[in-house]
Structures are given as structure tokens and as C-alpha cells.
């Protein structure tokens, strides 16, 4: 097969040889440029840019070696094959031709057949090189476009993912992405009750494919936490959304926490991530075992939201990690593993040095990062030390100021439905109450929880005097709630305008046996362990509160000033 028509430069100081070569090349259909020395050849190449050069090695003015070097330099990335015309036979002379940029040789005397074959071969090589350059440029353009897209997406993702309270003083974290996008997701946000929700997730894979579910998950987490939904509701909605939108085989291993600073408790749900740990300030280490499948795996009706609750004393820490730590490998393909991590955790390092010690242990192990790495530590602190932003008040608009409502929640509704987020949104429609969302929710949550747990379920708060009783309390709570068929909790609201502004009266009543409210209120120091704090909280956050003689009904009031 003949080569395509080319412009070929022939540099030969012998007029007869130059004429012979020009005739052979022209008869093959190529355009010919002729030069009698190397300097003339360089000038012709610069002005005409031929696709191939036949170069005599030994010429006057400038020899073929120097001319070849200059032509290759001017050609740049483009491939311009140079076939040396030479009668040289010594190995050293031929090596000089190659070092000067030569691609092939044609020995004298010239053979038409061999010359044609070499031109065809060099042309194929030239076109292949040209195609490679075009593909390289195309890949570079696509890569630049992809990087720009990823940078924009990452900027949006970072704003969404980090819009919570990761900057709170009691949170420390470390994230080391394997790719531009971190497949690990760390979210933290304050609940209207003042609790803190924390989610550590690890999506399947790395980079952008791994982060594809991060934004919808972050949206569910922040939106539902901000509105006051329970941990179980957030888990259900997160699983359902990821199951609906993610492709098959993509899911999110996750650990979700609810840290209550007022109650000094942590609620833990684990699905697929390595075990977390409660690190007691006295050195005790309590594992938080992942017992569920990852988010996005199960159909909504098969998803399990069961979580465990543990008491936390001031200074206790909750430590979570992604599997990138345990799966780091050394040069012998050994895993860093759980035991090496536990050795660091049990080594008695000061809390502030923990992350540094883990990083140093990984470096000593010569671990090669093959996954995204995330560490997070949340410390139990005094409730007053937590700096919470005010609840979002939304658009400031007119709302109802004089109205009343009553809600009765019975039987299975108490078991399957958590009404507080919806009731809070209703109350925040009242303009004067919009600045009290946190206190409203905290009081409403305390009263509803007491009515459900102690009134309807008949649980003994005294069980929570120690860690063992605390666990037993929440085990009984789950068992009784699962079998609940009867009982009622009623919640009533009445708002009214007053000369000084407005007032909300909130009442909560249950169908239980009641309790001696006066005896409880007359012994403020009766609270022991992790129980008995709720009534004090209600009195602290409201204008006034009172219990009915049988202890089954409580009435709480909030007021607000008239607008200027």
C-alpha cells in the first residue's frame, strides 16, 4: 500500500545522487524539496515544513548530524521522520545518526524498492504518532473539563457537607481523601432540643462515584435534624432515599450518634463501619458495635433502626473511624488492623494527642492509603459550654396569634410516630414564639418523653442510677414500645394576646398511673445518676409550670413581649 502524498526534503551534496533520489520520490507521487547542504536543509524545513527528510550524513557547511538535531528541535512534538543517507558502515558512525535524531538508514547505492518501502513505513509511523498526539490532546481537554467539573462539584459539596457544627469545640476530626472527592462523609448538626447529631459515612468506592450519594444524604440529615426529627426517623428516611436513588451495589456504611448534653447520654446506631468506642476518662474502653446493614441496602420495610444508649460522664469521649484506618497495608500486604488501633487507644495518651498517635502509628507501619481515612472524636462537656446557633426562623411573616388545639396520640401511633417536629413547626407559626424554638422543643421533648416512658410505658426512672441500670432501662423501653397496643398521650396548645405581648399555655397529659409531683418537686436533690433531671429543666426553660395532683397532667407557660 502506497503512502499518502507527502512533502519530502532531500538533503544531499552530490548533484547526481540528489537528482536520482528526487526522480524516485517524485515518481511515487510526492512533492520534493532539495538542499545541497545542512544549512540549506534547515532553512527549507523552517519555511516549508515537510513531513519527511532524507538526510545525507556528510555534507559541507553543516553536516547532516547537526541539521537533524536542529530539524528535530523545530519539529517539537510533531514527528518528522529522518532517514539518513549514508555509506558509513562503522557502528560508531551509525550510532551518531541515531543520537542526532535519525529514525532509519538508507545505504548507498540507493534501491528504489527499499526507499519506497522505508518512506511508506515512516509515513505509517508518522501518522500513528500524529493520532497519538491528537488523542493525548483530546484526553487533556477532557481531563481539564472533568477537573473543572469536579472542582465546582466539590466546592458545592463541601459547603453542603460542612454546613453543620463540625467547628463545635467538643468535636475533633481528621479526613484524608484517597481521591479529590472524599468517599467518607462527616456531618454534625444541632437538634432543636440542644442535642448534637453526628453521622460518619463511607460510600462504596472512591472519588466522585463514591460521593454521589453524599449530597442527598447530607440534605436529609441537616433538614430532618433541624426540624427536630428523631434519630430513628432520620435513619429510616436516609436509608429509603439512598435505596431509591443509588445504583445497585452502591451503599453507605454509617455510624450515627445522638449526643445529649443535658441528659449526658449517647445514642448509637452502626451499620457496616468498624466499631466505634466510648473512651471513659478513667481509661475504660467500651466498644460500640456495628450491628446493622449499611444505609441503602435494605428495602424500607425491612430496615432496622434499633439503636443502643449509653451514659456519658463529663470528659468521656466517643471515637469513630472509617475502615480506611484498619485496611492500610504495608509492603508485605499486612493490614494495620484493629489490634494495632486498640494498642494506641489503650496506651494512655492524653486525649489531645490521640489523632497524632494514630497517624504516627500508621506511618511507622508504612501503611499505604488505599481508601479514604476518617477519624472523629466527640467529647461530653457541660451543656452550658456548648455554643449553639439560634434556630433558623425562616421567612419572617405574619402568623396566628390567638388559637388553641389538642392532639391525642394513642396505641400504635405512639409506637410508630414521633410528633414533636410537626408540633414544633406549628408553634413556630406564631410570630412571638419564633425566637424560642430551642426552649420550646426542649420542654416539649421532656414532657412528651416523660408522658410516654413513665406514664404510658410505666418505666421506672430510678433504673438509670448507674450504667447497668441505664442499659436495662432502654432495653425495657424498646420491648414495651414494640408491644404497645393501648395508652394515650394528649398535647394541647393555647395561644392568646395580652397587653404585654402574648402567652402560650402548653399541656401534656398521659393515661398512666401518675406520680406525686409535689414530693418530687420538694426534693430537688432526689435526682440520682442519669435520672430525675427533666422536671428541673422544664422549670428552668419555661416561665412557669405546674402539675396536677395526680401527676398525670402538666401545664407550662411561655410568654413573649409585644412588638415595638
108: left (phi over 0), alpha (psi -120 to 50) or beta: beta
pLDDT the model gives residue 167: 84
For residue 22, pLDDT beyond 50: yes
pLDDT digits (tens, 9 = 90+) for 56-93: 888 889 988 899 999 999 998 888 999 988 776 666 76
Predicted pLDDT at 299: 94
Residue 319 has pLDDT above 90, yes or no: yes
Q: pLDDT-derived band of residue 266, with 50, 70 and 90 as boundaries?
A: very high
Residue 393: pLDDT over 70? no
| pLDDT confidence of residue 529 | 46
Give the mean model confidence (pLDDT) for residues 273-292. Answer: 93
The mean pLDDT of 271-280, rounded to a whole number, is 94
pLDDT of residue 368: 58
Give ∠ CA 366-369-375 in degrees, rounded to 5. Answer: 100
Where helices occur in 85-230 by DSSP H, the ranges are 91-99, 112-161, 207-211, 214-227
Measured distance CA(133)–CA(127) in Å, rounded: 10
pLDDT given for residue 208 in this prediction:
66
**Confidence band of 525 (pLDDT split at 50, 70, 90):** very low
CA distances (Å), origin 119, targets 105, 199, 521: 11, 66, 104
Domains 7-132 and 163-385 share a fold: no
Does the pLDDT value for residue 424 go beyond 60?
Answer: yes
Query: 164 or 472: which carries more pLDDT confidence?
Result: 472
Whether the CB-CB separation of 413 and 429 falls below 8 Å is answered with no
**In the predicted model, what is the mean pLDDT of residues 249-274?**
93
Mean pLDDT of 414-424: 89
pLDDT-derived band of residue 564, with 50, 70 and 90 as boundaries?
Answer: very low
| Residue in the structure block whose three cell numbers are 457544627 | 165
Instruction: List residues bridging with 107 in a β-sheet.
Output: 86
Per-residue confidence (pLDDT) for residue 178, from 0 to 100:
56
List own/partner pairs for 228-233 with CB under 8 A and 24 or more apart.
Answer: 228/191, 228/192, 228/193, 228/420, 228/421, 228/424, 228/441, 228/445, 229/418, 229/421, 230/418, 230/420, 231/197, 231/256, 231/258, 231/267, 231/269, 231/305, 231/307, 232/305, 232/307, 232/418, 233/418, 233/421
Would you state the pLDDT for residue 399?
63
Average pLDDT rounded to a whole number, residues 471-476: 86
Does 182 score more than 70 pLDDT? Answer: no
Average pLDDT over the chain, rounded to an integer:
85
Q: What is the pLDDT of residue 517?
A: 67
Helix/strand/coil (H/E/C) assignment for every residue in 209-267: HHHCCHHHHHHHHHHHHHHCCCHHHHHHHHHHHHHHHCCCCCCEEEEEEEEECCCCEEE
pLDDT at residue 224, as a whole number:
93
**pLDDT band at 551, cuts 50/70/90?**
confident
pLDDT at 526: 47
pLDDT in tens, 119-159: 999 999 989 998 998 898 899 888 888 777 767 766 766 66
| Residue boundaries of the structural domains of the chain | 7-132, 163-385, 403-561
More confident residue, 221 or 350: 221
156-181 pLDDT, tens digit per residue, is: 666 666 667 888 889 998 887 655 55
Percent residues over pLDDT 90 in the chain: 37
pLDDT, tens digit, for every residue of 196-225?
Answer: 999 999 888 766 666 678 888 999 999 999
Strands 276-279 and 317-321: antiparallel
Spatial distance between the Cα atoms of 274 and 287, rounded to a whole number of angstroms: 10
Taking residues 376-401, report their average pLDDT. Answer: 74
Q: Are 424 and 441 in contact (CB under 8 A)?
A: yes
CATH number of 403-561: 3.30.565.10
The second-level CATH assignment, the architecture, of 163-385 is: 4-Layer Sandwich (3.60)
The per-residue pLDDT for 97 is: 80
CATH of domain 7-132: 3.40.50.2300
pLDDT of residue 91: 67
Per-residue pLDDT band at 522 (split at 50, 70, 90): low
Dihedral sign for Cα atoms in the order 309, 310, 316, 322: negative
Amino acid at each position: 500500500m502506497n503512502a499518502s502524498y507527502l512533502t519530502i526534503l532531500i538533503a544531499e551534496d552530490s548533484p547526481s545522487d540528489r537528482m536520482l533520489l528526487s526522480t524516485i520520490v517524485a515518481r511515487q507521487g510526492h512533492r520534493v524539496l532539495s538542499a545541497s547542504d545542512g544549512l540549506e536543509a534547515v532553512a527549507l524545513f523552517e519555511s516549508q515544513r515537510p513531513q519527511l527528510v532524507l538526510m545525507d550524513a556528510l555534507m559541507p557547511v553543516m553536516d547532516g548530524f547537526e541539521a537533524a538535531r536542529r530539524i528535530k528541535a523545530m519539529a517539537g512534538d510533531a514527528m518528522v521522520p529522518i532517514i539518513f543517507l549514508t555509506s558509513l558502515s562503522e557502528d560508531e558512525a551509525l550510532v551518531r545518526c541515531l543520537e542526532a535524531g535519525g529514525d532509519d538508514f538508507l545505504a548507498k547505492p540507493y534501491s528504489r524498492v527499499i526507499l519506497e518501502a522505508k518512506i511508506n513505513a515512516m509515513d505509517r509511523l508518522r501518522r500513528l504518532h500524529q493520532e497519538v498526539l491528537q488523542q493525548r490532546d483530546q484526553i487533556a481537554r477532557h481531563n481539564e473539563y472533568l477537573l473543572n467539573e469536579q472542582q465546582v462539584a466539590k466546592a458545592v459539596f463541601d459547603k453542603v457537607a460542612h454546613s453543620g457544627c463540625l467547628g463545635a469545640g467538643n468535636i475533633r476530626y481528621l479526613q484524608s481523601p484517597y481521591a479529590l472527592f472524599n468517599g467518607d462523609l462527616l456531618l454534625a448538626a444541632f437538634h432543636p432540643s440542644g442535642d448534637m447529631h453526628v453521622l460518619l459515612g463511607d460510600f462504596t468506592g472512591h472519588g466522585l462515584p463514591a460521593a454521589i450519594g453524599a449530597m442527598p444524604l447530607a440534605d436529609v440529615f441537616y433538614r430532618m435534624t433541624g426540624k427536630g426529627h428523631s434519630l430513628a426517623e432520620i435513619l429510616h428516611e436516609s436509608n429509603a432515599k439512598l435505596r431509591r436513588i443509588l445504583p445497585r451495589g452502591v451503599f453507605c456504611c454509617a455510624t450515627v450518634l445522638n449526643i445529649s448534653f443535658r441528659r449526658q447520654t449517647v445514642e448509637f446506631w452502626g451499620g457496616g463501619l468498624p466499631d466505634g468506642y466510648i473512651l471513659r476518662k478513667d481509661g475504660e474502653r467500651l466498644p460500640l458495635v456495628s450491628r446493622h446493614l449499611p444505609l441503602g441496602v435494605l428495602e424500607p420495610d425491612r430496615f432496622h433502626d434499633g439503636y443502643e444508649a449509653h451514659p456519658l460522664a463529663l470528659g468521656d469521649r466517643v471515637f469513630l473511624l472509617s475502615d480506611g484506618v484498619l485496611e492500610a497495608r504495608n509492603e508485605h500486604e499486612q493490614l494495620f488492623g484493629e489490634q494495632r488501633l486498640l494498642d494506641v487507644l489503650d496506651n494512655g495518651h492524653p486525649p489531645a494527642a490521640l489523632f497524632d498517635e494514630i497517624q504516627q502509628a500508621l506511618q511507622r507501619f508504612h501503611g499505604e492509603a488505599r481508601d479514604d481515612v476518617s477519624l472523629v472524636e466527640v467529647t461530653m462537656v457541660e451543656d452550658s459550654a456548648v455554643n449553639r446557633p439560634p434556630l433558623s426562623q425562616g421567612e419572617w411573616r405574619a402568623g396566628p396569634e390567638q388559637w388553641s388545639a389538642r392532639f391525642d396520640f394513642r396505641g400504635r401511633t405512639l409506637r410508630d410516630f414521633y410528633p414533636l417536629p410537626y408540633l414544633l413547626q406549628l408553634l413556630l407559626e406564631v410570630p412571638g414564639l419564633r425566637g424560642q424554638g430551642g426552649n420550646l422543643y426542649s420542654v416539649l421533648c421532656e414532657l412528651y418523653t416523660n408522658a410516654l416512658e413513665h406514664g404510658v410505658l410505666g418505666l421506672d426512672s430510678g433504673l438509670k442510677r448507674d450504667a447497668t441500670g441505664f442499659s436495662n432501662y432502654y432495653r425495657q423501653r424498646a420491648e414495651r414500645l414494640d408491644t404497645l397496643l393501648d395508652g394515650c398521650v394528649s398535647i394541647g396548645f393555647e395561644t392568646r394576646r395580652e397587653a404585654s405581648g402574648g402567652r402560650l399555655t402548653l399541656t401534656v397529659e398521659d393515661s398512666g398511673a401518675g406520680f406525686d409531683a409535689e414530693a418530687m418537686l420538694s426534693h430537688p436533690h432526689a435526682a440520682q445518676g442519669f435520672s430525675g433531671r427533666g422536671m428541673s429543666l422544664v422549670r428552668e426553660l419555661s416561665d412557669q409550670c405546674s402539675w396536677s395532683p395526680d401527676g398525670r397532667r402538666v401545664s407550662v407557660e411561655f410568654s413573649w413581649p409585644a412588638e415595638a
